[in-house]
Protein backbone atom coordinates (compact mmCIF):
# COMPACT_ATOMS: atom_id res chain seq x y z
CA UNK A 1 0.00 0.00 0.00
CA UNK A 2 1.45 3.34 -1.05
CA UNK A 3 0.45 6.60 0.59
CA UNK A 4 -0.36 9.76 -1.35
CA UNK A 5 2.92 11.29 -0.20
CA UNK A 6 4.97 8.27 -1.25
CA UNK A 7 3.28 8.22 -4.65
CA UNK A 8 4.26 11.84 -5.25
CA UNK A 9 7.81 11.08 -4.09
CA UNK A 10 8.00 8.34 -6.70
CA UNK A 11 6.85 10.81 -9.31
CA UNK A 12 9.46 13.29 -8.09
CA UNK A 13 12.20 10.68 -8.52
CA UNK A 14 12.16 11.20 -12.28
CA UNK A 15 13.05 14.87 -11.78
CA UNK A 16 16.40 14.49 -10.05
CA UNK A 17 17.44 18.11 -10.37
CA UNK A 18 18.83 20.08 -7.37
CA UNK A 19 15.82 22.38 -7.12
CA UNK A 20 13.44 23.33 -4.35
CA UNK A 21 10.27 22.22 -6.16
CA UNK A 22 9.13 19.55 -8.57
CA UNK A 23 6.63 19.62 -11.39
CA UNK A 24 3.85 17.04 -11.49
CA UNK A 25 1.27 17.12 -14.26
CA UNK A 26 -2.42 16.56 -13.53
CA UNK A 27 -3.86 15.20 -16.77
CA UNK A 28 -7.51 14.84 -17.83
CA UNK A 29 -8.79 12.63 -20.60
CA UNK A 30 -12.19 11.04 -21.22
CA UNK A 31 -13.40 11.84 -17.71
CA UNK A 32 -10.35 10.34 -15.99
CA UNK A 33 -7.50 11.87 -13.95
CA UNK A 34 -3.85 10.83 -13.92
CA UNK A 35 -0.59 12.20 -12.49
CA UNK A 36 2.62 12.17 -14.49
CA UNK A 37 6.13 13.61 -14.55
CA UNK A 38 5.55 14.99 -18.07
CA UNK A 39 2.52 16.12 -20.05
CA UNK A 40 0.77 13.07 -21.45
CA UNK A 41 0.07 13.02 -25.21
CA UNK A 42 -3.64 13.19 -25.91
CA UNK A 43 -4.52 14.55 -22.44
CA UNK A 44 -5.24 18.04 -21.17
CA UNK A 45 -2.51 18.55 -18.58
CA UNK A 46 -1.88 21.22 -15.96
CA UNK A 47 1.54 21.61 -14.34
CA UNK A 48 1.58 21.64 -10.52
CA UNK A 49 4.60 22.82 -8.55
CA UNK A 50 5.25 20.76 -5.40
CA UNK A 51 7.89 21.62 -2.79
CA UNK A 52 10.60 19.03 -2.14
CA UNK A 53 9.72 18.68 1.53
CA UNK A 54 6.22 20.06 2.05
CA UNK A 55 4.71 20.04 5.53
CA UNK A 56 1.46 18.89 3.88
CA UNK A 57 1.42 16.95 0.63
CA UNK A 58 -0.75 18.81 -1.87
CA UNK A 59 -3.89 17.04 -3.04
CA UNK A 60 -3.84 17.21 -6.83
CA UNK A 61 -6.03 14.15 -7.40
CA UNK A 62 -9.20 16.08 -6.56
CA UNK A 63 -12.25 14.52 -4.88
CA UNK A 64 -11.68 10.93 -6.00
CA UNK A 65 -11.52 9.35 -2.52
CA UNK A 66 -9.39 6.22 -1.99
CA UNK A 67 -7.72 5.17 -5.25
CA UNK A 68 -6.15 1.82 -6.16
CA UNK A 69 -3.95 1.94 -9.23
CA UNK A 70 -0.59 1.34 -10.89
CA UNK A 71 2.38 3.63 -11.41
CA UNK A 72 3.75 3.05 -14.92
CA UNK A 73 7.21 3.67 -16.37
CA UNK A 74 7.25 5.02 -19.91
CA UNK A 75 10.04 5.98 -22.30
CA UNK A 76 9.62 9.05 -24.51
CA UNK A 77 12.40 10.67 -26.60
CA UNK A 78 15.09 9.11 -24.41
CA UNK A 79 13.46 10.23 -21.15
CA UNK A 80 11.95 8.00 -18.48
CA UNK A 81 8.51 9.25 -17.46
CA UNK A 82 6.28 8.01 -14.65
CA UNK A 83 2.51 8.15 -14.96
CA UNK A 84 -0.57 6.65 -13.35
CA UNK A 85 -2.21 6.14 -16.78
CA UNK A 86 -1.54 2.98 -18.79
CA UNK A 87 -0.16 4.59 -21.95
CA UNK A 88 0.80 2.49 -25.00
CA UNK A 89 4.24 1.01 -24.39
CA UNK A 90 4.23 1.79 -20.65
CA UNK A 91 5.41 -0.87 -18.20
CA UNK A 92 3.91 -1.42 -14.72
CA UNK A 93 6.28 -0.08 -12.07
CA UNK A 94 4.37 -0.62 -8.81
CA UNK A 95 0.86 -0.90 -7.40
CA UNK A 96 -0.42 1.85 -5.10
CA UNK A 97 -3.32 2.85 -2.91
CA UNK A 98 -3.85 6.55 -2.26
CA UNK A 99 -5.37 7.06 1.18
CA UNK A 100 -7.00 10.21 2.49
CA UNK A 101 -6.53 11.68 5.97
CA UNK A 102 -8.88 10.41 8.67
CA UNK A 103 -9.57 13.62 10.58
CA UNK A 104 -10.66 17.12 9.65
CA UNK A 105 -12.65 20.15 10.83
CA UNK A 106 -15.28 19.31 8.21
CA UNK A 107 -18.55 17.40 8.59
CA UNK A 108 -20.71 15.15 6.43
CA UNK A 109 -23.87 17.21 6.95
CA UNK A 110 -27.04 16.30 8.83
CA UNK A 111 -29.20 15.54 5.79
CA UNK A 112 -29.40 12.11 4.13
CA UNK A 113 -29.48 11.29 0.44
CA UNK A 114 -33.10 10.55 -0.38
CA UNK A 115 -36.01 11.68 -2.49
CA UNK A 116 -36.05 15.36 -3.52
CA UNK A 117 -38.29 17.51 -1.35
CA UNK A 118 -39.48 20.20 -3.71
CA UNK A 119 -42.15 21.36 -1.28
CA UNK A 120 -39.67 22.60 1.34
CA UNK A 121 -39.37 26.43 1.27
CA UNK A 122 -40.07 26.31 -2.47
CA UNK A 123 -40.57 30.03 -3.11
CA UNK A 124 -37.66 30.97 -0.84
CA UNK A 125 -35.20 28.76 -2.73
CA UNK A 126 -36.54 29.94 -6.08
CA UNK A 127 -36.22 33.61 -5.13
CA UNK A 128 -32.75 33.22 -3.55
CA UNK A 129 -31.47 31.22 -6.52
CA UNK A 130 -32.76 33.78 -9.01
CA UNK A 131 -31.38 36.77 -7.06
CA UNK A 132 -27.93 35.19 -6.85
CA UNK A 133 -27.90 33.53 -10.29
CA UNK A 134 -27.60 30.04 -8.83
CA UNK A 135 -28.90 26.70 -10.04
CA UNK A 136 -32.04 26.28 -7.92
CA UNK A 137 -31.50 22.50 -7.86
CA UNK A 138 -27.96 22.92 -6.52
CA UNK A 139 -29.02 25.36 -3.81
CA UNK A 140 -31.68 22.88 -2.67
CA UNK A 141 -29.12 20.04 -2.78
CA UNK A 142 -26.79 21.96 -0.46
CA UNK A 143 -29.62 22.64 2.00
CA UNK A 144 -30.78 19.02 1.85
CA UNK A 145 -27.23 17.75 2.51
CA UNK A 146 -26.58 20.28 5.25
CA UNK A 147 -29.72 20.15 7.39
CA UNK A 148 -32.39 18.01 5.76
CA UNK A 149 -34.35 21.32 5.68
CA UNK A 150 -34.55 21.51 9.49
CA UNK A 151 -34.72 25.22 10.33
CA UNK A 152 -33.60 24.66 13.94
CA UNK A 153 -30.75 22.27 13.12
CA UNK A 154 -27.42 22.71 14.94
CA UNK A 155 -24.37 20.64 14.01
CA UNK A 156 -21.68 19.39 16.38
CA UNK A 157 -19.36 22.02 14.82
CA UNK A 158 -21.79 24.86 15.63
CA UNK A 159 -23.39 25.39 12.20
CA UNK A 160 -26.98 26.58 12.38
CA UNK A 161 -30.24 26.63 10.44
CA UNK A 162 -31.42 25.37 7.07
CA UNK A 163 -28.14 26.25 5.35
CA UNK A 164 -26.01 25.34 8.39
CA UNK A 165 -24.15 28.63 8.47
CA UNK A 166 -21.30 29.01 10.91
CA UNK A 167 -21.85 32.01 13.23
CA UNK A 168 -19.05 34.05 11.63
CA UNK A 169 -20.50 33.52 8.14
CA UNK A 170 -24.00 34.41 9.36
CA UNK A 171 -22.64 37.65 10.85
CA UNK A 172 -20.75 38.48 7.66
CA UNK A 173 -23.97 38.24 5.65
CA UNK A 174 -26.07 40.17 8.15
CA UNK A 175 -28.20 37.31 9.45
CA UNK A 176 -30.19 38.46 12.46
CA UNK A 177 -31.80 35.08 13.17
CA UNK A 178 -29.89 32.02 11.85
CA UNK A 179 -32.94 29.83 12.53
CA UNK A 180 -35.26 31.90 10.32
CA UNK A 181 -35.50 29.94 7.06
CA UNK A 182 -35.60 33.01 4.81
CA UNK A 183 -32.55 34.60 6.45
CA UNK A 184 -30.59 31.35 6.32
CA UNK A 185 -31.46 30.55 2.69
CA UNK A 186 -30.73 34.09 1.46
CA UNK A 187 -27.40 34.27 3.28
CA UNK A 188 -26.43 30.77 2.19
CA UNK A 189 -27.20 31.64 -1.43
CA UNK A 190 -25.08 34.81 -1.24
CA UNK A 191 -22.20 32.88 0.30
CA UNK A 192 -22.41 30.16 -2.35
CA UNK A 193 -22.46 32.84 -5.08
CA UNK A 194 -19.24 34.30 -3.67
CA UNK A 195 -17.64 30.84 -3.63
CA UNK A 196 -18.62 30.22 -7.25
CA UNK A 197 -17.02 33.54 -8.23
CA UNK A 198 -13.86 32.52 -6.36
CA UNK A 199 -13.71 29.11 -8.09
CA UNK A 200 -14.81 30.21 -11.57
CA UNK A 201 -18.14 28.42 -11.42
CA UNK A 202 -16.75 25.08 -10.19
CA UNK A 203 -19.63 23.57 -8.18
CA UNK A 204 -17.44 20.88 -6.62
CA UNK A 205 -14.85 23.32 -5.25
CA UNK A 206 -17.61 25.66 -4.04
CA UNK A 207 -19.32 22.80 -2.17
CA UNK A 208 -15.98 21.68 -0.70
CA UNK A 209 -15.23 25.20 0.53
CA UNK A 210 -18.75 25.52 1.97
CA UNK A 211 -18.04 22.32 3.91
CA UNK A 212 -14.38 22.55 4.93
CA UNK A 213 -13.56 26.22 4.41
CA UNK A 214 -11.73 28.30 1.82
CA UNK A 215 -8.45 27.84 3.69
CA UNK A 216 -8.62 24.04 3.41
CA UNK A 217 -9.28 24.20 -0.34
CA UNK A 218 -6.31 26.56 -0.74
CA UNK A 219 -4.05 24.38 1.42
CA UNK A 220 -4.67 21.24 -0.64
CA UNK A 221 -4.99 22.93 -4.02
CA UNK A 222 -8.45 21.44 -4.58
CA UNK A 223 -11.03 19.40 -2.71
CA UNK A 224 -9.52 18.67 0.74
CA UNK A 225 -8.90 14.92 1.07
CA UNK A 226 -10.85 14.73 4.33
CA UNK A 227 -13.18 11.75 4.56
CA UNK A 228 -15.98 14.04 5.72
CA UNK A 229 -15.54 16.46 2.83
CA UNK A 230 -15.31 13.69 0.24
CA UNK A 231 -18.51 12.16 1.64
CA UNK A 232 -20.20 15.57 1.68
CA UNK A 233 -19.22 16.45 -1.90
CA UNK A 234 -20.46 13.04 -3.07
CA UNK A 235 -23.74 13.55 -1.22
CA UNK A 236 -24.28 17.01 -2.72
CA UNK A 237 -23.61 15.72 -6.22
CA UNK A 238 -26.04 12.81 -5.79
CA UNK A 239 -28.71 15.16 -4.47
CA UNK A 240 -28.03 17.71 -7.21
CA UNK A 241 -28.64 15.03 -9.84
CA UNK A 242 -31.89 14.00 -8.16
CA UNK A 243 -33.16 17.55 -7.82
CA UNK A 244 -32.36 18.34 -11.45
CA UNK A 245 -34.24 15.22 -12.55
CA UNK A 246 -37.20 16.08 -10.31
CA UNK A 247 -37.25 19.62 -11.71
CA UNK A 248 -36.99 18.23 -15.28
CA UNK A 249 -33.61 19.86 -15.93
CA UNK A 250 -30.82 18.35 -18.10
CA UNK A 251 -28.58 15.81 -16.31
CA UNK A 252 -25.14 16.72 -15.00
CA UNK A 253 -21.96 15.55 -16.78
CA UNK A 254 -20.41 12.39 -15.33
CA UNK A 255 -17.90 12.66 -12.45
CA UNK A 256 -14.15 12.28 -12.95
CA UNK A 257 -12.41 9.03 -12.00
CA UNK A 258 -8.81 7.93 -11.75
CA UNK A 259 -7.21 6.74 -14.99
CA UNK A 260 -6.22 3.07 -15.26
- Cα separation, 235 vs 111, in Å, equals 9
Task: Give the number of residues written for the chain.
Answer: 260
Question: Residue 56 CA to chain centroid, in angstroms?
Answer: 17
- How far the first Cα of the chain sits from its last, in Å, is 17
84 close to 60: Cβ distance less than 8 angstroms: no
**Residue ranges in the chain assigned as alpha helix (H):** 4-12, 122-131, 136-147, 167-172, 181-198, 203-212, 214-220, 227-246
Say whether 146 is catalytic.
yes
- Cα separation, 246 vs 225, in Å, equals 31
- Cα separation, 10 vs 35, in Å, equals 11
Query: Does residue 20 sit in helix, strand or coil?
Result: coil
* Catalytic one of 46, 146, 228, 260: 146
Active-site residue list: 146
Amino acid sequence: MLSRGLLLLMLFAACALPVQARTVYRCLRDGTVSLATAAEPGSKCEAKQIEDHPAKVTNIWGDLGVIHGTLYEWESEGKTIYTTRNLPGAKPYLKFTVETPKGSPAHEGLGKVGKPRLDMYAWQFKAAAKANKLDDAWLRAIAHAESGFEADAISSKGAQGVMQLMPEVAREYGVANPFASSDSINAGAKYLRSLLRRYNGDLTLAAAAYNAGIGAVAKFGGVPPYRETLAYVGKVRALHERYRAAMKLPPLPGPLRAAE
